[in-house]
Amino acid sequence: MNTIKQFVLWVDEPIEHVISHKMLAYIDFLRQRNLSAKTINCHLDSIRGFYNYLIEEEQVAIANPVKHGYALRLSQPLPRYVRQEHVDRFLKVITSTRDRAIFLLMLRCGLRVEEVFKLTLAALDLRRSQVFVQGKGAKERVVYISDDTYDALLRYLKRRKWLREKKVFLVEKGTYKGKPISVRGIQKRMEYYARKAGLRIGCHQLRHTMATELLNAGADLVTIQDLLGHSRIKTTQRYSKVSNLKVKRDYFKAMAVVMKRTS
């Protein structure tokens, strides 16, 4: 109601007479107040809903001046990765063989927490150092296992006692011992180790770290897209904005060729 009140006071004319061009002027007014794009979009949603109410409930014969295209584009936050010294500190505090395998699958293979939860024994192909992952939208992909992840998985599987359970990662203590560990259970383990290491990191940041490190090591964006299971290359390209090391290396490498030609 406060949002609508602000609009009615600003418009200074009967609301039935407001047209689309007036709404564009109102958007400019809100931007001049240095409101964020998200806040401005909330204003527009409220006003659009108000006009829909007048049209549908009160049967007022007017057109809604807030068209659906009237929304500011929201900036997407860049992926946050974990610096190498913090990765080392995080891994150092993990004592459980199960938990080490879980978090290395995120850090080295780029698995989401839900993908780790869904992982079955049948999906592991240790002989070929690969894992079949069921991702978002039931899309499947193949990821490859680094040497340290392979060792961690092998150590965990050797001491894993419950042979009939198909899921890989199981609860090891308490009432639900031997049952699959839940997504929230994995997240709680992350919170525990992050707190123990004195870090503020989450499961998804390990996946971001894997992508950033691969890019810095010279991997192609298309390769990273395939490993992460991104539908669009645009999603993967966000890592290019974070990964300045590769940009810097590519620049000086290319500039050396340019300068050689010039001389």
The catalytic residue among 80, 167, 196, 204 is 204
**Residues 251, 244: Cα–Cα separation, whole Å:** 10
Examine the residue annotation and report whether 204 is marked as an active-site residue of this protein. yes
The catalytic residue among 86, 98, 189, 230 is 230
The catalytic residue among 43, 98, 112, 208 is 112
Examine the residue annotation and report whether 207 is marked as an active-site residue of this protein. yes
Examine the residue annotation and report whether 260 is marked as an active-site residue of this protein. no
The catalytic residue among 17, 83, 92, 136 is 136
Examine the residue annotation and report whether 230 is marked as an active-site residue of this protein. yes
Classify residue 260 as left (phi > 0), alpha (psi -120 to 50) or beta.
Answer: alpha
**Residues 258, 249: Cα–Cα separation, whole Å:** 14
Examine the residue annotation and report whether 68 is marked as an active-site residue of this protein. no
Q: Which helix (H) or strand (E) holds 125?
A: strand 124-125
Q: Which helix (H) or strand (E) holds 15?
A: none
CB 251 within 8 A of CB 236: no
Q: Which helix (H) or strand (E) holds 86?
A: helix 84-92
Examine the residue annotation and report whether 70 is marked as an active-site residue of this protein. no
Residues carrying an active site annotation = 112, 136, 204, 207, 230, 239
